[in-house]
Structures are given as structure tokens and as C-alpha cells.
Structure 1
């Protein structure tokens, strides 16, 4: 089966991916609002648009220009009390004077007149009084007096709990004082009240979620228990290396493996991955001399520390190989590649590229270097560099279906980024060649399906995901991707859940499955169940990057619960309790 979609339509239909935190936040809106929102709309008065211009005065101030007498003497405002019909009119005149000073950048003078407006206005006019507090908060914000900003915004919100400007301003002040959780609550409330239509509010929420995610991830990773990935994940990871000196030992049937190394190799062959590190440690301690076999044991142990997410231990083993002059280049190159991947996980890409450069100096014809560097470039959205590295890797490993199809996908991404129809057409043609050259490579079908998702060819994408499942029936990740497709294709939540639950049956350590299912539960309004699933994903996260992202999703869900209660909006009736 081939795709009949045109290249130009692909360019027009490519959708930028929605940030996952925003998906978690936004998809919950209909449920979070629900009847609570309808009740709010039916039972509250229209709120005033706060500002320093004329809108409020037009709405609330019924006096005419002749009723007021505001004169400017030098640089000082003088407000007479002649002809004022009410204290509100008088307060409004003080506010206007404050606005003039604010617009001129004279914030202390503005505050003085906002003080008079607040003192003059009575509690019988709560909406106007809330505006005066909000205006004074704006002036304090210009003076970086965040304590007073928070105090005035709080006063404004006590008078008008749905005052969006005050929520946003207090959120910014809370962020400046590192009160991130409360800041996120305020901006989330603003987003809900604005029905997620204000880009400024959404950007602030995104920023706060990232900051909060990093904070929680650092605290969590300090005490987190390491969990070995699933057998399928580890096997797939190991098989992606074509020049791994350990795998050469593993696949060798003719070579006699030394006794002290055979037990470790046998454990890897039997997929007894949980015991590989302890076996390596025992053998290393029993070997006195610094032999090639001893360094191989360090490399293997470092690899499994990497898989376990114990980066310090992994780097220690890899450094021993990299810094020892007598170690053969094959071991050094493999250690450099793996250390480079750790640097990326620790968000130090510049160190990663240094390691790749060192590896190329040692062995410029090792395809694993270019293959792994290409994936890092793709992760960092360096599409052109990824494309060039994949092409070099294919040149060195022309028999690898995995590398070939990843090159096709990078070429497609590059063509799409350039809006180049001919490049996209070439990439699509190369995918067809991949099916012919590597018919049993599941990655060929998976990446082609993802490309079809980008171009909204959902029915064809579903077909190719099903083909990928036939080739690799134990691959849980394919089921998760197919579940996500159901959401994009026809918003079929039930079918999506079936696919993702199947993924978790195949691999109970599929962090991607728990994370995605949690996001869907947010969409269904089951925020507490979503948090439970995010907690399971957190226990399986191996890197600070993964954990930070999951915490952002969890924090978004937790904040929605808090804010919904605060605004008096009901949550879905079928919400599960956190176990």
C-alpha cells in the first residue's frame, strides 16, 4: 500500500506539535468549566475591563466633564470638589490623575493619587475599588516592589475574584519571589476565565510549569529509586549499535569467551538484565590486572548504569575507559558515544558534541558515531545536521534498515522545514524503497505512519501502524502512537485508551504509555486518575528531562483541581480518587 497524498498538501497540512503540558491543560477546559461555567455565566454581572483609559469611566462614571474640575499646575494635579455628585466621581478623578502620572513614568506620584482614589472610594463600589487597587499594583510593579504588588492584587481579587489582570499581575509577582505553585494557580485561573484564548497568559503558564517541573524533578531525582527498563527496550537499545565491542562478543559463536566473562555475557543473552551490573562488579573486583576484558566489563556495566538512569556511576565507568591510554580505540569510541548520550540527558548538549568529535578523531569510519549524533541533532531540532549525519551513517552501514529509514524521516523533516516539495517527494519515495529493502523493519512502518499523521493522512497512518505491530508485536510504543492517532483522527478516546492499555499489558514499564494515558484522563476530566498515572510514569523516568516533563503534566492537573475549587467550578462526576 502506498500513499497517494501530494507533497504540496503535506506542506499545507503539517501541524506543529502541541506542547504536552498545554494539551493537558487545554483539553480539560470543557470538563473543568462544565455546568460550573454555565452557572457562573448566568449568575454574575459582567466584570469591568480594568485599565487606565476611558473604558471604566464610560461604564461606571456617569458624571460629565463639566461636573469635574481637574487642573494641572506645573507638575501637580489639583482636583477640586466642586460639582461632584458622589464620592465615586471624586475617586475616579483621583484615578485619572494617577493614570496620567503612570503614563508619564512617574510611578511614585501615580501611587499617591491611587492612594487618594482608594481612600475616597467606598466598599459600596467593589468593582471600582478593585480597579484602583489593581492600578496601584501596576505602579508598584514598575518599582519592583513585589510585596506591595501581591498585597494590592490580593485586595483587588477579594473584591472581584475573577479579575484576570489582577490574577496575571499577582502571578508575575509570585514568580519573582519564587512562589511558583501559587503563581501557577493564579495564571491557570486566568487561563480558564479567558477560555485559553490569551497567548500572554498561556506563555506565562508554560514558563511557570517548566520552572516548577525542574524544581520538582531535582527534588524527586535526589531520592528516586532506579528502575531498569523493560527487556524489549534494552534489547532494542543494544541492537541499535552496529560496532559495539560487547555485542560482538555476544553474537560470537566461534570465539572462546574467557570464563570470568562468560557468566556476564550469558546473563545478557538470557535477558537477565537486572543482574548484569552485579555480575560485572564481581568480576571486576576479582580481576587484578588492567586487561582488555576488565575494560569491557567496565563498558558493559557503564552501559547498564546508563540504562538504569544512574548517570554518575555510568560516567565513572565510561571515564575510566576514555581516559586510559592503553585502552583500544573500539572501546573508547563506544564509551564516548554513550557518554555523549548522557550529556544530552543531563541537558549539556555542548559536551555531547565534544564527545562525538573526539570519537570521530579516533575512528572516522564508525557509523555508530554519526547515527547517534544524528539522533541528538534531531532531538535538538538541528534538522540539516541530523540529515547529514544520517546520510553518513547509511553510507557506513547500508544494510541497516533502522538507520536508512531514520535518514528518510530526517529528509522529510528537512524538506517540510524548507517547504520544499521536491525534497518531500524524494523522502516519500525513499520510504517506499525502505519497504522493499527492509520489509521486516518495524521502524520503517512506524516512521512512515508518523509522517502521514503530520500530513493528516490518518487512515493510511493507521494502516502502517498496524503493519509495524505485525513486524514487532511486543513493541508497546507502537500501540501508544496508534492510540494517539485515534485522538487526532476522530477524537475516539475509547479506542485510544484500548491501544494504550494494550501497550501497558505488553510492557508494564512503558513510561510513555502511563504519561499518555494520564493526558487522556485529563481530557476526560479524571484529573486525580491522571495524577496517579503521572506518578507511575515518574517512577519509570530515567532522566531529569523526562521527569521534568512529567512533573509539568502532573502540576498542570493538580493546579486545575485547586483552581476549579477556588472558582467554584465543578469537576467531572466520574473522577477517581488518588490511591
Structure 2
């Protein structure tokens, strides 16, 4: 798509590719988070109104070449390596470009130009701070060129100490950024990172747009563990080169991950586990077909028994608010603390494990679900939930084995095929996914989300006409369900059919208000915000819808991410950073925190670049304007 904030169907979003640039990742976060609500470990977990989707993380670190020795460059003054002055000629743009490239890579040439003759080092004076001013400016300039030439020869011969002395002499004669950068290359070869930083800093002070020095200093900062400073320099370098340097962009990606992981671990220390937004919880729970409570449980009225609290937790779930979900989690904990009747044990562990999983307490959740299976091997829902937890570790085979165990217990349970279809969907096995969705429909035609997911899968397969037909049938069969209109609208939005899409979102919003005004699913509001922005570039209206969503669901990370991106698109970087940090604070697990912090750090770095390198602010603004005009994400 060509919209400033890309939109993809919430049930069809894919993990961010590691090859994408820093700013593409930042802008892509909104589209991904419309579906990718949480990232845990190596897996992105996606929950939508059409049910939970467990996304295997296909992102790789990439084969990033380490920035090492940078070739010694020729002085911009036109001096040859022997120090002689080249006669100035009027050049074409192409010739100037060629000369620049040759100069930057002078040290890489095997032999100097035939006309150049390097005078013996002994013929050069020994320069000191005391005597250097005894020579004229023109003499110092000539000597500097000769010293640099000899320094280049020593560098190419890997005589780094000798080269350092020669470059130091050249700097005394003429403080040139290239001389500092060349000496830094020698220190780099010796792994003297502090000296590299000192010399590249001097070079950058003389030439703030010296990309090679920025990259070299960034590498040195990374070597000594100053990851935030390294990230800042690589980002400045990317901006100067308009993100055309793949190595620098890859370094930004790598460092974002390192910085986010470091901060994420600190945030996790002592951080209490908590439930995500009610929108997330509701959508997860309704991805399973609603079933009646275990027989007799509703008759439990004694508050001193676990059975009473187990039943109370089920009643709390029906309210669908943040507080009611928290009450339900506490009720399930108390039920097992007091002890439940033997016939309810498997169900009780299943429910407690479910809410522990939603809180991000994966280890305890897995233990509870496994305990549930041991109490009742025929409870297929426990196999399904355990499969999703196993899938989050990247063990696809283990997840498939649990689905097969569930089928062996009850081959006619439609939930098994629905959730196994999700596994196929996220691994791009669309034909297998469509087959399982259809199997789920054949076993139970009244479960709306199987129909919705089938339509989305057809869309991903490129069968647009079939997908639209599926959603039109859904409208007739489930005309009172807002999710049909919400996800139908997303597919229309993906086709840039803005007016039709907004009409569907409005239908979904009105139905949500009527059905559950205090606990409504806010996804249609967020989608309408995106559609409004993409269609008319109306920031004010888009922000209004996002803020309305946050009033109804203050912890909705999708609304927070969307609002952050809208602010970033307007250049309101500081405000955007506040929302990205808020998203990180709401995250539950290390994976979720790292995912959110990576975008927060990218935004923070952009702000720091503007403050530390004010001369780049105009370049950043120009890039943003060009991106907005072309309709591409920033």
C-alpha cells in the first residue's frame, strides 16, 4: 500500500522483517500492532477480534559486516600523497564525484600515481607545537600533505605506530578532519577504542557531516559497550546518507535490539505481572467457542470453598471490563488455594493457567495447563492452549503434536481445527490453514471467527473475490456481530476503498456501543482513525478516535501505538516518545517490553539526533516531507 501509515488486515499482519530500515520499522509498528499485540521470546503473539494468532518470529539478526578499517582518504584540498599540490581544473559533476571516491579510498590503491615521488622522511622537519608556527601556512600545508602520504604508506604496510607519528605531525601542520580520521584508523587497527573515539570526535568537530568518522566512532562506542552512543552515531550517519548505507542501517537495527534488551531486563526486575487490556483479554477468550460451566458449579454458594470462587471467576469474565478480568484472575487463584472438587480440578487449572498466560507468566501457565491435562486427558482445550504456549518457544513440531493429541481425544472438536489453522496461517501455509478453517466451519457453522479467518486467508492467497464473497455471506449470517463489519472494513481499507471501509467501521462501532458500552472492543475506533488519516490526512480526527479508544480502554496498546505513530508523522517526536514509553510500561514479558522499547528507543534517538546534531534537523524534515508527499511510511 502507499499510505503514510500502512494498514493490513488485523488477522493477516506479519512480523517485521529484519532487513527493513529503522524508520520503516517505526512506522510499521502501528500496522503490526493492530494485530501483533505482544511479542514473547522468539514469537510474536497476535490477538484480534477474530481470535488469537500465534506468530512465529521470522526476524533474523542478519549478517552484518563489522565496521573495521576504513581506507585512508585523499585530502579535499587536492594534495597528492607526496604532498604536491594538484593544479586545479574545472570539473564536471561526474569527475568531481569520481575524484571524491578515489580520495576516500586512496589507501586502498596498490601503488601511488607514477608522477608522485615521496621524499625521504628524513628530509622533513620534526614538527612540535613550539616550532610549527615558524613555517608559513603554505609551507605547513605542503608538509602536511607529505606527512599524510608517508602515513598512508606506513598504514598500508601495517606499521601503525609509525603511521600514528606521521599523522600526528600532519595534524600539527594542518588540523584536517581527514588526518584525524586516518589516525583513528590506526588506533582502530590496534583496538585502542578510546583513542579512536577521541580522534573521530575531533574530526567530526571539524566536519559535522563526516560520515566515515561517525561510523568509525559508532563502532568504537559499540566495542566498549556504549550502545546508546553508538546507536546515536549510526542513526546520524543513516540520516546523512538518506538511509542508503545498508551496513549502517543494519547496525542501527542491531543496536536498537541491544539497547532495548538491556533496558527491558532492568524494567522487568521486580515488575509485577498484570493482565493486558480488556480488548486483548476479550479477544483471546472468545477465540474459543463458548461452553457451559461444568455441571453443578453454579450451585456452589459457600464462600469458604474453592468451587464458589471458581464459579465467581466465570461470572466475572462475563462482565468484560479491566476490573472484572482482574477479579476473575484472583478468583481462580483463590479457588485452587482453597481446593476444588475433584470433578472440577482439570477445569480450574485450565482457567488459572489461562489467566497466568495472559499476564505473561508463561512458565507457571504451562505448568497449570499440563496439570489440567493430567487430571483430565480428554479436556481438549488444554491441549490447544498448551500448543500455543509451546509454539511461542519456536517449537512448531511440539505444538503440532499437542494438536494431534487433542484430535485423538476428540476428533470432532471444531476448536482444534480453528487453532491449528492459526498455526498454519502464521507459517504462511495458507492452503493448509484454509482447509482447517473449513473443517472447523463444517463441524460448527455458528462460530463466526472461523468464517472471518477463512475470508482473511483467502485474501492473503490473492483470492480477493472469494474473500469479499465470504465476508458478504458473513454479513447475512452474523448481521448483528460487530466483528464482521470491523474485519470486512479492514480488507476494504487495505484496498484503499476508504469510504466503504469507514462505513463498515461505523457499523461496528455502533453495534459495540449497543452491546457493551462500558466494555466495548475499541478496534473499530482505531481502524477508523487509520482510515481517516489515510484517506484525508486528517490528523486531528484520527487523534480524536484514538483518544476516545483510550478513554474506553486506557491500557489498549494498539491505540497507544497508533497515536504514537500519528504524532511521529507530524514531527511531534517528544509527544510520540511519551506514548511509545507508555506502551513499554504496559508490556508484560521481556519479549513484549523489548518489542515496545525498540520503537521507543528509535524515537528517542531521532529526538537526540535533532538536539545533538541540529544541522541534521533540516535533512530529517526534508526526508519526512518527501515521505509524506510520496505516501510512503517514514
Q: How does 1:99-178 map to 2 (within 5 A)?
A: 101=156, 108-109=158-159, 112-113=162-163, 115-122=165-172, 124-136=174-186, 140=189, 149-178=196-225
Q: CA deviation at 1:394?
A: 2.9
Over residues 488-544 of structure 1, what are the superposed CA-to-partner deviations in whole Å (9 max), with x where a residue is unaligned?
A: 333322121011111112211211111221222233333332232223322322343
Quick one: which of 263, 275, 279 aligns to 2:331?
279
Q: How does 1:335-354 map to 2 (within 5 A)?
A: 335-345=382-392, 351-354=398-401
Checking the alignment, whether the CA contact within 8 Å between 2:564 and 2:576 is kept in structure 1 is yes
Q: CA deviation at 1:547?
A: 1.9
Please list every run of 5 or more consecutive structure 2 residues that lacks an aligned counterpart in the other structure.
1-7, 29-69, 87-112, 125-138, 302-306, 514-519, 619-634
Please list every run of 5 or more consecutive structure 1 residues that lacks an aligned counterpart in the other structure.
1-9, 28-49, 72-77, 416-422, 573-579
Q: CA deviation at 1:546?
A: 2.7
Name the CA distance, whole Å, in 1 between partners of 2:617 and 2:74: 38
User: Which residue in the other structure is 1:397 paired with?
Assistant: 444
Q: CA deviation at 1:217?
A: 2.2
Q: Is residue 63 of structure 1 aligned with residue 85 of structure 2?
A: yes
Over residues 158-204 of structure 1, what are the superposed CA-to-partner deviations in whole Å (9 max), with x where a residue is unaligned?
A: 44333212222332343344432122111122123334444433232
Q: Is residue 248 of structure 1 aligned with residue 249 of structure 2?
A: no
Sort the Cα spacing of 1:364 and 1:329 in 2 relative to 1 into closer, same or farther, 3 A: same
Sort the Cα spacing of 1:80 and 1:127 in 2 relative to 1 into closer, same or farther, 3 A: same
Q: CA deviation at 1:228?
A: 2.8
Over residues 364-407 of structure 1, what are the superposed CA-to-partner deviations in whole Å (9 max), with x where a residue is unaligned?
A: 43322332233344445554554444333333332222111111
Over residues 349-374 of structure 1, what are the superposed CA-to-partner deviations in whole Å (9 max), with x where a residue is unaligned?
A: 56544543443444343322332233
Quick one: which of 257, 276, 296 aligns to 2:347?
296
SS in structure 2 opposite 1:329? Answer: coil
Name the CA distance, whole Å, in 1 between partners of 2:264 and 2:398: 22
Checking the alignment, whether the CA contact within 8 Å between 1:23 and 1:519 is kept in structure 2 is no
Quick one: which of 83, 86, 89 aligns to 2:145?
89
Checking the alignment, whether the CA contact within 8 Å between 2:148 and 2:166 is kept in structure 1 is no
Checking the alignment, whether the CA contact within 8 Å between 2:75 and 2:178 is kept in structure 1 is no
Checking the alignment, whether the CA contact within 8 Å between 2:204 and 2:210 is kept in structure 1 is yes
User: Which residue in the other structure is 2:315 paired with?
Assistant: 266
Structure richer in helix, relative to its length: 1
Q: What TM-score does the superposition give when structure 1 sets the normalisation length?
A: 0.75
Q: CA deviation at 1:288?
A: 7.2
Sort the Cα spacing of 1:304 and 1:115 in 2 relative to 1 into closer, same or farther, 3 A: same
Name the CA distance, whole Å, in 1 between partners of 2:26 and 2:475: 39
Superposed CA RMSD: 3.8
Name the CA distance, whole Å, in 1 between partners of 2:456 and 2:604: 37
User: Which residue in the other structure is 1:310 paired with?
Assistant: 361
Q: CA deviation at 1:84?
A: 11
Q: What TM-score does the superposition give when structure 2 sets the normalisation length?
A: 0.69
User: Which residue in the other structure is 1:22 paired with?
Assistant: 23
Q: Is residue 444 of structure 1 aligned with residue 484 of structure 2?
A: yes
Of the structure 1 ranges 216-225 and 401-410, higher mean CA displacement relative to structure 2 is found in: 216-225
User: Which residue in the other structure is 1:30 paired with?
Assistant: none
Q: CA deviation at 1:285?
A: 3.3
User: Which residue in the other structure is 2:268 paired with?
Assistant: 221
Name the CA distance, whole Å, in 1 between partners of 2:114 and 2:337: 95
Q: How does 1:173-188 map to 2 (within 5 A)?
A: 173-188=220-235
- When the two structures are aligned, how many residues end up with a matched partner? 506
Name the CA distance, whole Å, in 1 between partners of 2:239 and 2:366: 45
Q: CA deviation at 1:90?
A: 0.4
Name the CA distance, whole Å, in 1 between partners of 2:408 and 2:77: 72
Q: How does 1:444-523 map to 2 (within 5 A)?
A: 444-473=484-513, 474-523=520-569
